[in-house]
């Protein structure tokens, strides 16, 4: 994403984050604000919905954000004195989370396309995707990542469709071709017959 590259230059040297029990936290308030302002990265500890980047709290990054920002050189993650690479982080999270590698490919692709990607857990999907960011617009997309070999249960599609329609969002299924690693997005549009 070009804005991430531009903002990386604005950040200057990489921001230091600490890894502890699977969590990645930026303890510097100033750096936390920079990351949040740069692309709505992270969640300020103890603040449910920040209204602006002027908060006074450390920032916890999601596993996807931590790997992505580390890969981009925007953050450096330390476990004690040991610097962890993006590959180290991804390897750890792949052991902890089902389909982490596939979900990360989708996360990175959406970020590279300029979207703001947040957790979609409260909607029962992988990601809630914004065009501009939380507090600026409502997330127009709910994205579920499924293996390309998975079978779709019609009941699950109807359930997801009803939920996404009731919250005025488009339901998207992202699948990854195992051989080529190409991502295919299936966007559902609901209409009255």
Q: Is 18 helix (H, G, I), strand (E, B) or coil?
A: strand
Confirm whether 68 is a catalytic residue.
Answer: no
The strand pairing partners of 174, in sequence order, are 145, 185
Query: Which residue in the list 5, 113, 131, 138 is annotated as catalytic?
Result: 138
CB 7 within 8 A of CB 39: yes
Confirm whether 132 is a catalytic residue.
Answer: no
Exposure class string for 64-87: b at 16+ Cβ within 10 A, else e: bbbbbbbbbebbebeeeeeebebe
Query: Which residue in the list 34, 43, 103, 169 is annotated as catalytic?
Result: 169
Question: Quick one: three-class SS letters along 130-169?
Answer: ECCCCCCCCCCEEEEEEECCCCCCHHHHHHHHHHHHHCCC
Query: Which residue in the list 130, 132, 168, 181 is annotated as catalytic?
Result: 130
Tell me how many degrees the CA angle 16-19-23 measures, rounded to the nearest 5.
Answer: 120
Confirm whether 130 is a catalytic residue.
Answer: yes
The number of residues making up the chain comes to: 193
Question: Mind telling me the catalytic residues?
Answer: 130, 138, 169
């Amino acid at each position: 994403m070009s804005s991430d590259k531009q903002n990386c230059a604005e950040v200057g040297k990489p921001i230091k984050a600490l890894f502890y029990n699977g969590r990645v936290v930026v303890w510097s308030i100033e750096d936390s604000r920079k990351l949040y302002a740069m692309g709505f990265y992270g969640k300020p500890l103890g603040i449910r919905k920040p209204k602006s980047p002027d908060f006074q709290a450390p920032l916890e990054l999601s596993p996807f954000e931590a790997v992505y920002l580390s890969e981009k050189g925007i953050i450096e993650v330390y476990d004690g004195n040991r610097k962890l690479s993006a590959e180290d982080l991804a390897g750890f999270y792949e052991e902890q989370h089902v389909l982490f590698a596939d979900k990360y490919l989708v996360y990175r692709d959406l970020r590279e396309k300029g979207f703001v990607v947040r957790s979609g857990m409260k909607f029962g999907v992988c990601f809630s995707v914004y065009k501009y960011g939380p507090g600026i617009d409502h997330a127009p997309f709910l994205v579920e990542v499924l293996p390309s070999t998975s079978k779709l249960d019609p009941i699950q599609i109807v359930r997801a469709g009803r939920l996404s329609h009731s919250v005025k969002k488009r339901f998207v299924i992202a699948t990854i071709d195992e051989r080529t690693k190409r991502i295919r997005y299936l966007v559902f549009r609901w209409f009255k017959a």
